[in-house]
A and B are shown apart, each in its own frame.
Chain A
């Protein structure tokens, strides 16, 4: 009997090109996603060596980070951003790499369009010069972010040099309560293990609460694996996965589909396969989560109180917490419920898919956002945007007083002019609350789309659960 293997081991083993003793594995890449910010120096590197893109047919580019999310009929106003997007267009044209640029009906955040086009499939290796590539692990793919030197390596060779990571099981038992979502699960995990807790590991999310999630919710969880230090997070594929992939533009068809699914069914870890580490959460005990500090591990249940540095034993943690609270201008012991906010951002590769927008719209329907709050709703892709418009969600957002914008990363990374002013507070469905992440001096509370929508209505951080109860089955 061969030794039992984990999901990670099966995907890894299948992609080994060479494994010289003592040296890193040469690992094959099935799908390489490219965007404008981390690729220009890689293409320049190819040009300097006279190299070509080896497999443009396994490569897909989009422009997402620095593109404006207002009127697309105008040229990009920012000279540098415009030059960067043009450079991407030139590089893709020269190397025959397909590009969903600003004019494409399928343009969008790279981690939204890969899955929705059916390019992301179980058992694949997926890389991108972006740390949130972990998103694609929701399909049982091994997907991780890489630097620009590695982007160049993959463009040139379709391979990477990698050491086999260790495995970390994140088991989520029980069932999520009403109004508690995938975003709250991952924020609770990060609060438990800290932002370095998964370093050197790949998370595998298991347990009944994960099985019960939709693909979009699983993507939300895998997306933020990197915030726990893990380059990748994975969920074993199941019927939920196959139903999501079936019929998408790049999904296998006909007899090829049946063969693919038969192969995908062998991917889940074998009985008895061991993980290097594990942690268990009880979904039934979770509340909606919100962050109070300046990294995603500084999160707490929404009904909680801001922790007190003086009650923190470890000096480094105490110092970090005190610095974070000073930046956020929050006081130990105060609740976050009722904290006034200036901006609500619903979007990003974490929470900009159609189900996220449906949740937010269910709470905003027929209501008005607080007039003191600027509310941005930024769909993850043009496909999501069209879908939301067809369902009437866009009209719900507009009628409620929110801005309905074009697809892109927007205020998650604040490279495109969508940003906080110094000192402003935002409830954001994105993934990072680092100092200045959403604009220099801006202050971020990470939360779910439901919490964001409830907070938009209240003008303050608010618990969505009473509204969810009234909205009933929609959410």
Chain B
């Protein structure tokens, strides 16, 4: 069971490219695992390391002062592409608890919310102001309060954001959705009684009629 999501403050890691896809967040070769351990190593691996495994000094995550920062300041449409939940797992493993962006890809957003990684969608104006503040002072801090749904900018301005009401409740309580779904067992059984299954994957139909041979 997860910890309740409490307010926190952090400096930011700026990674302002748009359309950062989940193949960049964690390349596919790191997906051959059967658990969630060690995925922080793969986070942005092809941007962090060169072909010989040496850290690229120019990449933001390799700067020593970025260690321990919990907020990623991203660009637009963060988390595009593949549905791999390894992306939020890797971001969490590295220590991130929130990503700030002007928009998120749908699947990434859903996956992040299930892993205590808060996707905070900001209006373009607020996002631009924040990017400018971080450029002026790389050690600028923000405060994230999910309960109040507010982000406190480095200049003290408090801006509101919205998170899906249900996901917010789950995060604040530190519970997950599966327990909630399991509590709907009777409703599911009633639905199943009223709606016959559309297919039966266990029925060995192909023994009677081999598939293939058609285009």
Contacts and interface: CB of A to CB of B under 8 A. Distances in A.
Q: Majority SS of interface residues in chain B? A: loop
Contacts of A250: 199-201, 203, 205
Given A157-B188, A249-B211, A432-B23, A30 B199 contact: yes
A287 B83 CA distance: 31
Nearest to B215: A354
B76 interface: yes
B187 A17 contact: yes
A196 B28 contact: no
B19 A195 contact: yes
B77 interface: yes
Given A38-B85, A117-B211, A231-B107, A81 B32 contact: yes
A98 B207 CA distance: 14
B215 to A, nearest CB: 4
Contacts of A145: 83, 107
B51 interface: yes
B118 interface: no
A80 B195 CA distance: 41
A320 B17 contact: yes
A58 B85 contact: no
A24 B168 CA distance: 12
Nearest to B213: A387
Looking at B18, B181, B211, B213, which has the most chain A CB atoms within 10 Å of its CB? B211
A200 interface: yes
A346 interface: no
Given A44-B34, A147-B85, A199-B105, 15 more contacts: A31-B201, A44-B35, A54-B188, A119-B199, A121-B199, A129-B85, A145-B107, A147-B83, A147-B110, A157-B188, A199-B104, A249-B205, A316-B76, A323-B17, A414-B29
23 contacts: A14-B195, A18-B187, A24-B166, A28-B192, A31-B199, A116-B211, A124-B199, A131-B83, A157-B182, A157-B188, A159-B188, A161-B177, A161-B181, A196-B103, A199-B106, A247-B209, A295-B21, A319-B17, A387-B215, A422-B51, A436-B23, A440-B46, A440-B51
B35 A196 contact: no
A22 interface: yes
Contacts of B202: 56-57, 96, 98
Interface in A192-239: 195-196, 199-200, 216, 226-227, 229, 231
A54 B184 CA distance: 13
Interface in A53-82: 54-60, 65-66, 78, 80-81
Interface of A: 14, 17-18, 22-24, 26, 28, 30-31, 37-38, 40-41, 44-45, 49, 51, 54-60, 65-66, 78, 80-81, 83-84, 87, 96, 98, 106, 116-119, 121, 124, 129-131, 145-150, 152-153, 156-161, 163, 195-196, 199-200, 216, 226-227, 229, 231, 247-250, 295, 297, 316-317, 319-320, 323, 353-355, 358, 383-384, 386-387, 390, 413-415, 422, 432, 434-437, 440-441
A453 B85 CA distance: 35
A38 B114 CA distance: 15
B47 to A, nearest CB: 8
A159 B114 CA distance: 16
Looking at B24, B106, B213, which has the most chain A CB atoms within 10 Å of its CB? B106
B18 A320 contact: yes
Nearest to A162: B110
Nearest to A49: B178
Given A157-B181, A226-B81, A66 B197 contact: no
Contact of B212 (A14, A149, A150, A383): A383
A390 B23 contact: no
Contacts of A121: 198-199
A414 B177 contact: no
A156 B183 CA distance: 12
Interface in B100-136: 103-107, 110-111, 114-115
Contacts of B28: 413-415, 437
Given A38-B83, A153-B181, A414-B29, A249 B215 contact: no
Contacts of A124: 198-199
A150 B85 CA distance: 10
A58 B198 CA distance: 8
A222 B18 CA distance: 24
A57 B103 CA distance: 38
A273 to B, nearest CB: 22
B180 to A, nearest CB: 7
Given A31-B198, A98-B202, A147-B114, A40 B35 contact: yes
B199 A153 contact: no
B33 interface: yes
B19 A156 contact: no
A93 to B, nearest CB: 13
A180 to B, nearest CB: 20
Given A147-B107, A440-B27, A17 B184 contact: yes
A80 B37 CA distance: 14
B178 A152 contact: yes
Nearest to A122: B198
Looking at B83, B114, B205, which has the most chain A CB atoms within 10 Å of its CB? B83
Contact of B32 (A66, A96, A319, A358): A66
Given A159-B188, A249-B209, A78 B76 contact: no
A396 B46 CA distance: 38
Contact of A26 (B27, B80, B187): B187
A200 B77 CA distance: 11
A149 B181 contact: no
Contact of A320 (B19, B27, B115, B210): B19
B120 to A, nearest CB: 16
